[in-house]
């Protein structure tokens, strides 16, 4: 979602005549988009802002703004720690960025826009498809009402708000008319899409409406909360050809005691039943997940249950993280914190197990023929192009850059840790 927000900010500024540069020293305006979901992301922001301070201490007169979740969380507090910043722009105020920049140009003082609105105006902002764009994000909802005990999102993104389906369909139509092949629907919990709308459109119905346009080659979505992952949505994988066979379904822990303390509102058994049903409908589906290790109170036997679950589900990949306290959330007050060295050990063990599973899964693709949407040239070799399978695996293979944006058939020759090697047929 942050990438999509950055695109929205950039497109607003392009309308004002700004052009993007990759050389930060030459920029007249620098906006840092921030994430506060984990402590590590926060540390990265401070280190980047430290580097920008040194830049500003020289001759540089660039305007510096901070947007996103951390801007929302810290507000004015940012100016004390980073006096070289001109403005902070919270998650409900992206639409105001051009005017904040103008104010900064006039007054050069500390400008703050972090008020929450009943409606998130930037939900209505559409990013125009740039020439040659193959894949595009489309925000369908923002915010979250779930208040998982460790998560800061409801505090920095606000309550859940869905976007009317007509606006989404019009945006998808505009994007596909410009040649976009793949639409990635975005929201903190797309499965609860529609709950704040007057119209009776849930997420499976929205997917059906997009399919009925007959102009989208591929549909993906993220993120899904397991508690709201309905049978209707599972059935969509069988009914909607355009829906790619990949789901990111964050489990977070394999232990019911921990899930309860996390306030996730599903059990391990319920999660496994949904995975089983999904695989019975769509046997080749690729399933990825998020896992937190070292949640307060996670005893060794509880962690072992997470390992057991990861081995049982055999995820195609996971994003795994050490628990870190986020300010103001419920788990910050839990007393039974896990020492850092134990969290490190558990994370390393989990990642090692998953790396082996991912490699096995990638090797199991060898000999299969996959539809690959070509995205660009390979990082490793100019003679190669790369694309993604419907299961979201990266494939490198020999081919002309003229194929970028096309869907081709590729035989998988070799599975590696992070990608596949293939040949076009
Ligand atoms: S559902 Fe996701 S975004 Fe919402 S509170 Fe839980 S972890 Fe955070």
- The answer to whether the CB of 144 is under 6 A from ligand 1 is yes
> What local confidence, expressed as pLDDT, does residue 112 receive?
95
- CA 419 / ligand 1 centre spacing (Å): 29
Choose which residue among 36, 149, 153, 266 to substitute to test ligand 1 binding: the one with the highest number of ligand atoms within 8 A of its C-beta.
153
Task: State the CATH number of the domain containing residue 107.
Answer: 3.40.50.12160
Report DSSP state, residue 329: S
User: Side by side, which strands form the sheet with 218-222?
Assistant: 135-139, 182-186, 218-222
Domain total in the chain: 3
Give the distance (Å) from ligand 1 centre to CA of residue 43: 21
- Both tokens of residue 263? 């306030």
Within a domain: residue 160?
yes
For ligand 1, whether the C-beta of 146 sits within 6 Å is yes
Residues 199 and 150 in one domain: yes
3-state helix, strand, coil in the chain (%, to 5): 40, 20, 40
List of the chain residues with pLDDT < 50: none
The answer to whether the beta carbons of residues 349 and 341 sit under 8 Å apart is: no
Q: Domain check: are 134 and 103 in the same one?
A: no
* Whether the CB of 162 sits within 6 Å of ligand 1: no
DSSP state of 130: P
Does residue 289 sit within a domain? no
In a domain, 145, yes or no: yes
131 & 206 share domain: yes
Residues 11 and 144: their CA atoms lie apart, in Å, by 26
Do 31 and 99 belong to one domain?
yes
CB count in 10 Å sphere of residue 232: 14
pLDDT for 334 equals 97
Q: Where are the alpha helices (DSSP H) in 24-87?
A: 39-57, 69-74, 77-81
The predicted structure's pLDDT at residue 237: 97
Domain termination residue (choose one: 244, 274, 293)? 244
| Cβ of residue 189 lying under 6 Å from some atom of ligand 1 | yes
Q: Domain for residue 48, yes or no? A: yes
- DSSP-assigned beta bridge partners for residue 414: 421
On whether residue 264 sits in a domain, the answer given is no
Residues 36 and 135 in one domain: no
d(CA 86, CA 65): 6
The answer to whether residue 291 is domain-embedded is no
The reported pLDDT for the residue numbered 382 is 83
- Give the pLDDT confidence score for residue 178 in this predicted structure: 94
Look at residue 362 and tell me if it is in a domain: no
- How much is the pLDDT for 294? 98
Confidence (pTM): 0.93
**Residue 130 and residue 232 share a domain:** yes
In whole angstroms, what is the distance from residue 323 CA to residue 296 CA?
8
Among 244, 266, 292, residue at a domain's last position: 244
Does ligand 1 come within 6 angstroms of the Cβ of 154?
yes
Q: Are residues 149 and 232 in the same domain?
A: yes
Task: Among 113, 139, 168, give the residue marking a domain's end.
Answer: 113
Domain that holds residue 390: 369-424
Alpha helices, H only, 314-339: none
Q: Establish whether the linkage from the previous residue to 223 is cis, with ω within 30° of 0.
A: yes
The end-to-end CA distance of the chain, in Å, is: 35
* Domain match, 228 and 157 both: yes
* pLDDT per position as a tens digit, 306-327: 999 999 999 999 999 999 999 9
Q: Give 200's contacts (C-beta < 8 A, 6+ positions apart).
A: 194
Is 88 close to ligand 1, i.e. is its CB under 6 Å away? no
Same domain, residue pair 130 and 109: no
Burial (CB count within 10 angstroms: exposed 0-12, middle 13-18, buried 19+), residue 167: middle
In this structure, are 98 and 171 located in the same domain? no
* Residue 250 within any structural domain of the chain: no
Residues 63 and 38 in one domain: yes
Same domain, 106 and 130: no
Q: Domain containing 373 — which CATH number?
A: 2.40.50.140
């Amino acid at each position: 979602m942050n990438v999509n927000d950055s695109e929205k900010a950039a497109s607003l500024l392009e309308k004002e005549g700004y052009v993007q540069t990759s050389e930060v020293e030459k920029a007249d305006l620098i906006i840092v988009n921030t994430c506060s979901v984990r402590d590590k992301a926060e540390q990265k922001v401070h280190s980047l802002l430290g580097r920008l301070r040194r830049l500003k201490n020289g001759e540089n007169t660039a305007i510096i703004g901070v947007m996103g979740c951390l801007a929302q969380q810290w507000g004015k507090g940012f100016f004390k720690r980073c006096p070289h910043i001109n403005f902070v722009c919270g998650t409900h105020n992206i639409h105001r960025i051009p005017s904040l920049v103008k104010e900064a140009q006039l007054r050069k003082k500390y400008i703050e826009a972090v008020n929450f609105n009943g409606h998130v105006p930037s939900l209505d902002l559409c990013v125009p498809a740039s020439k040659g764009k193959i894949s595009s994000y489309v925000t369908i909802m923002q915010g979250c009402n779930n208040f998982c005990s460790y998560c800061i999102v409801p505090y920095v993104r606000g309550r859940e708000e869905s976007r009317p389906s007509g606006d989404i369909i019009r945006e998808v139509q505009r994007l596909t008319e410009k040649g976009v092949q793949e639409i990635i629907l975005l929201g903190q919990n797309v499965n609860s899409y529609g709950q704040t709308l007057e119209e009776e459109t849930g997420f499976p119905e929205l997917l059906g409406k997009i399919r009925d346009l007959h102009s989208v080659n591929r549909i993906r979505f993220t993120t899904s909360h397991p508690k709201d992952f309905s049978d209707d949505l599972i059935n969509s994988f069988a009914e909607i050809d355009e829906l790619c066979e990949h789901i990111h379904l964050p489990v977070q822990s394999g232990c019911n005691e921990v899930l309860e303390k996390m306030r996730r509102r599903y059990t391990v058994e319920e999660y496994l039943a949904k995975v089983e049903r999904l695989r019975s409908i769509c046997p080749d589906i690729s399933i990825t997940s998020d896992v937190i290790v070292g949640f307060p109170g996670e005893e060794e036997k509880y962690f072992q249950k997470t390992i057991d679950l990861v081995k049982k589900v055999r995820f195609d990949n996971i994003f795994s993280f050490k628990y870190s306290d986020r300010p103001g959330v419920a788990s910050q007050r839990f007393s039974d914190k896990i020492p850092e060295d134990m969290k490190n050990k558990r994370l390393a063990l989990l990642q090692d197990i998953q790396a082996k599973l991912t490699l096995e899964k990638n090797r199991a693709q060898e000999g299969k023929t996959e539809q690959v949407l070509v995205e660009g040239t390979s990082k490793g070799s100019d003679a190669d192009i790369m694309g993604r399978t419907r299961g979201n695996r990266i494939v490198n293979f020999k081919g002309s850059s003229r194929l970028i944006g096309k869907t081709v058939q590729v035989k998988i020759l070799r599975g590696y840790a992070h990608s596949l090697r293939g040949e076009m047929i």
